[in-house]
């Protein structure tokens, strides 16, 4: 039996490794839905002050007017889809203004500890923040560590670290 030649259309395993799995994508969408619900619960003046698209602001304001459970569920799915297009850092920064500086410093220490200790601190973090998914958190930490070991460009390292920080902030907000 002959082997098929490697074609450029078939993905390499290294490419697949960096791509999130379907389960991770579904969990990320669930987190976005929870984030959308949290944003919709804000007072209307704070929603209008968010640094996001007008369509998202309109849909966030509509959420409070929807009486039906099923319609609210569909609306949260729409909010999650719209939130994926926005800059997570800006949205989390707007939500983090509610958190005291002490909490922000604690989250920054958690990020540093996760990168430095790896698996040793993952269980502690997941215990303290129940909204965290151990596997997803581990993937983010491993990507940051891999970028440091391979001495990737500062731009790539900063991007990986920002992704980890966004995830940690998101989990902290959703765990409240």
Domain count for the chain: 2
Q: Please give the model's pTM, rounded to 2 decimal places.
A: 0.64
Same domain flag for 108 and 153: yes
Co-location of 161 and 108 in the same domain:
yes
**Cα distances (Å, whole numbers) of residue 150 to 14, 112, 153, 160:** 15, 18, 9, 13
Nearest-angstrom CA–CA distance, 41 and 39: 5
Could you tell me the mean pLDDT of each successive run of 10 residues in the chain, 176 residues long?
Answer: 52 56 81 86 86 90 90 92 83 69 86 87 88 86 87 84 87 80
Residue 2 domain-assigned (yes or no): no
pLDDT of residue 9: 53
Give 164's contacts (C-beta < 8 A, 6+ positions apart).
Answer: 111, 114, 115, 140, 141, 143, 144
CATH of the domain at 76: 1.10.60
Which residue has 């799915």 as its token pair?
Answer: 77
Residue 13: per-residue pLDDT: 47
The pLDDT assigned to 136 comes to 85
Residues 80 and 104 in one domain: no
- Is the domain of 74 the same as that of 113? no
Residues 6+ apart with CB under 8 A from 121: 110, 113, 114
Residue 94 lies in a domain: no
Structural domain boundaries enclosing 157: 99-176
Query: Do residues 167 and 142 lie in contact, with contact meaning Cβ atoms separated by under 8 Å?
Result: no
121 and 162 in a common domain = yes
Q: What CATH number is associated with residue 169?
A: 1.10.60.30
Q: Is 106 found in the same domain as 67?
A: no
Same domain? 172 vs 145: yes
Asked if the structure places residue 78 within a domain, the reply is yes
Check whether residue 32 and residue 64 sit in a common domain. yes
Residue 118 located in a structural domain: yes
Say which DSSP state 146 is in: H
CA 126 to chain centre: 15
Q: Are residues 104 and 73 in the same domain?
A: no
Domain contains 41: yes
Is the residue at 93 inside a domain?
no
* Domain-ending residue, one of 52, 86, 120: 86
Q: What is the DSSP letter of 43?
A: -
- Note whether 50 and 104 are same-domain residues: no
């Amino acid at each position: 039996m002959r082997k098929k030649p490697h074609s450029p259309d078939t993905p390499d395993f290294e490419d697949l490794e960096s791509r999130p799995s379907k389960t991770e994508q579904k969990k990320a969408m669930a987190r976005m839905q929870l984030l959308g619900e949290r944003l919709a619960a804000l007072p209307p003046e704070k929603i209008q002050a968010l640094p996001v698209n007008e369509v998202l602001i309109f849909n966030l304001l509509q959420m409070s007017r929807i009486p039906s459970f099923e319609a609210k569920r569909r609306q949260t799915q729409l909010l999650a889809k719209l939130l994926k297009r926005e800059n997570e850092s800006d949205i989390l920064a707007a939500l983090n203004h509610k958190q005291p500086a002490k909490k922000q410093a604690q989250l920054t220490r958690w990020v540093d500890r996760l990168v430095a200790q790896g698996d040793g601190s993952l269980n502690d973090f997941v215990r303290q923040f129940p909204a965290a998914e151990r596997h997803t958190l581990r993937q983010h930490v491993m990507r940051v560590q891999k970028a440091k070991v391979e001495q990737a460009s500062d731009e790539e390292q900063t991007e990986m670290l920002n992704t980890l920080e966004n995830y940690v902030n998101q989990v902290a907000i959703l765990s409240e």
